[in-house]
Chains A and B, each alone.
Chain A
Amino acid sequence: MIRSRHWFSKTGLWLGLFFLYAPIISMVVFSFNNSRLVTVWDAANSPTLKWYGELFRNEQILGAALLSIRIAAMTATGAVILGTLAGLVLVRFGPFRGRALLSGMTTAPLVMPEVITGLSLLLLFVALEQLIGWPATRDVTTITIAHITFSMAYVTIVVQSRLAGFDNSLEEAALDLGARPAKVFFRITLPLIVPAILSGWLLAFTLSWDDVVVSQFVAGPGSTTLPMVIFSKVRLGVSPDVNALATILVLIVATGVVASSIWMRRQERRREREIQMAVAANK
């Protein structure tokens, strides 16, 4: 009886996965199409690497991609530092005045519509410029600040849930054994949350790399990120070199995700085996 529903949900799962992957697969396929009409398969001259060649000659896209990588890396690093601190404070520092406001400010960006975030940050930068003359131009710095602000929330959540899984008494034990608080942080707390920090970094990197709306608000004339280039390009209609770009991105991401998950699987298996051995040795 229960199995029949299982069958139903299993079909749902596969259909859902098809729904998730069909557009990506079609994009990959058509990146090898010769025709400029993206969706009409030119069987005579395909598959071809023509669009890849075109992509690598397009300096605007390459420049924007480099800029995006730079911004994403800076964003991820900044968001990890701030988000980890916020997560620590929220989980480990107990009640203090203003804690509710801090926890509200860390979760709100998760659901805040991007247009509002973008608008509010731009208005802040304009007001600051009038007030103290900084930032004089809107450029990489302003984009990075904006990206850090909305992506640190994700880091905080990841760090928070990792920390909450560890007993406070680990740090207390270290204090009790004579380590000062700074040392406790670097010897105990930090090593424990490294996995969360890594995945937080990747998350923040992707969010920044992906963002178009907030960037559009806070970017200046000389700082066009890759998503902004793509956005203006595809608003005018499909263009095959975007397909090629998408294929490259999918390839990179898929390799990364598959490799890391295989590595994690291995770690887990090793750990399980060790635990089994320990249990067996005890009997």
Chain B
Amino acid sequence: MARIPPPQPPHHLVEGRLGAWWELFYRYGPPRWSFYVRHAWAGERLVIAVPYLWLLLFFLIPFIIVFKMSFSEVRLAMPPYAPLWEWVSEKAVDVRLNFGNYLYLLTDDLYFSAYLYSLKVAAISTVFCLLIAYPMAYAMARSSPATRNLYLMLIILPFWTSFLLRVYAWIGLLQNNGVINSVLLALGIIDEPITMMQTDFAVFIGIVYSYLPFMILPLYSNLEKHDFTLLEAAADLGAGPVKSFLRITLPLSRPGIIAGSLLVFIPAVGEYVIPSLLGSTDQLMIGRVLADEFFANRDWPVASAVAIAMLLLLMVPIMIFQHFQSRELAGAK
């Protein structure tokens, strides 16, 4: 929808004695009925307001509540927490800010190691994702337009099928009596089944598998735009294929690498389903810890504190992602 510029006061008003006042009235006063209602679509402000209010109410305010909750005390009641402030008498408010939840996070080793473990798992998975996705995206970008679309469809197709079921499929493959072990045993490569379920390896596989399209797509859309003659120019100037890849293709694809890595890394840190299905119960990831605090222990304040700490941890990568995202869209224009 095109935007109509706001109206200006008619000149007979501006030139009158009260001209300056009219200008102020037009700029800051109530909407001009003559203009907004008769001419412009009165809904322009409504169009802004609807998604805005929705996101404020269901995205921003919930975070403020989580923040508030992280300072509350747990209580055996429903809902299971104490209010942050209470009217003690008619005039006095009793504010109880409780930093105990955060102290608890710092003192109990469980949380700290869960954070570290989550970061480790997310980082390793991101690296593997990148290593697998880059050649794929590169080969897609270099193929003819018709096959390119076919590949694109093949990459996206698993994404449309259920994520949960795709993770589930790996259980069948990785189990002790699963497909991989059976095949290896039958071929005589191993004598007894390898334990793969409930290991870090299973979690890496699950995350890499589920998030691979999120790495391939940004990489592909970046690599696809590359000017192939740049490589010819580099070859012409005497650079070998390895050197021209390292010096030209790789630096130019940096935005794609960063966008893809963040799209994998950030959600992977908070991943809950994959480690619950494939991972071990000895070492928990932070998403699992949060869910357990919430569902099993019913300790909402500590769960909130875990969430806030996770957000702080992810703040920097999220901001980098937003920066790149807005730049990407500005570039599309």
Contacts and interface: CB of A to CB of B under 8 A. Distances in A.
Interface of A: 1-2, 4-6, 8-13, 16-17, 19-24, 26-27, 30, 37-40, 82-83, 85-86, 88-89, 91-94, 96, 98, 102-116, 119-121, 123-124, 126-127, 130, 145-146, 148-149, 152, 156-157, 160-161, 164-165, 168, 171-172, 174-175, 180-182, 184-185, 189, 206, 209-210, 212-213, 216-217, 227, 230-231, 234-235, 237-238, 242-243, 245-246, 249-250, 253-254, 256-258, 261, 265
Given A103-B326, A210-B164, A12 B135 contact: yes
B3 interface: yes
A119 B55 contact: no
A175 B326 contact: no
Given A249-B161, A265-B149, A94 B3 contact: yes
Given A12-B136, A19-B209, 6 more contacts: A16-B216, A106-B51, A119-B66, A121-B62, A216-B291, A246-B162
Contacts of B142: 6, 9
Interface stretch (B26-34, B35-43, B94-102, B108-116): B35-43
B276 interface: yes
A9 B138 contact: yes
Nearest to B41: A181
B169 A1 contact: no
Interface in B29-84: 39-41, 43-44, 47-48, 50-52, 54-63, 65-66, 69, 79
A206 B159 CA distance: 9
10 contacts: A12-B132, A23-B170, A85-B51, A89-B51, A102-B48, A164-B333, A206-B159, A231-B164, A249-B165, A253-B160
A120 B307 contact: yes
Contacts of A213: 272-273, 287, 291
Contacts of A250: 161
B196 interface: no
B157 A115 contact: no
Given A39-B177, A206-B160, A231-B164, A261 B149 contact: yes
Interface string B164-180: 11101111110101110
Nearest to B79: A126
A184 B307 contact: no
A238 B278 CA distance: 12
A16 B304 contact: no
The listed residue with most A CB atoms (<10 A of its CB), out of B43, B164, B332, is B164
B231 A2 contact: yes
Interface stretch (B9-17, B85-93, B250-258, B310-318): B310-318
B135 A8 contact: yes
Given A107-B322, A123-B65, A257-B157, A16 B310 contact: no
Contacts of A243: 172
B164 A212 contact: yes
Interface string B127-161: 00000111110111010000001010111111111
Given A106-B55, A180-B41, A265-B149, A165 B162 contact: no
Contacts of A210: 162-164
Interchain residue pairs A-B with the least CB separation, the first 3: A113-B270, A12-B135, A120-B62
Contacts of B50: 82, 85
Contacts of A120: 62-63, 65-66, 307
Nearest to A172: B2
Given A17-B154, A19-B209, A249-B161, A111 B263 contact: yes
A15 to B, nearest CB: 8
Contact of B332 (A121, A126, A149, A161): A161
Contact of B51 (A17, A86, A235): A86
B267 interface: yes
A83 B212 contact: no
A157 B324 CA distance: 13
Contact of A257 (B41, B134, B153, B241): B153
Given A111-B262, A120-B66, A246 B79 contact: no
A107 B326 contact: yes
Contacts of B287: 113-115, 213
B222 to A, nearest CB: 14
A26 B173 contact: yes
A113 B322 CA distance: 15
Contacts of B216: 16
A32 B132 CA distance: 31
B1 A121 contact: no
A24 B169 contact: yes
Contacts of B159: 206
B40 to A, nearest CB: 6
B157 A254 contact: yes
B161 A115 contact: no
B173 A149 contact: no
A48 B149 CA distance: 36
A25 to B, nearest CB: 9
- Interface-centre pick from A92, A110, A206 (highest chain B CB count, 10 A): A110
B245 interface: yes
A92 B1 contact: yes
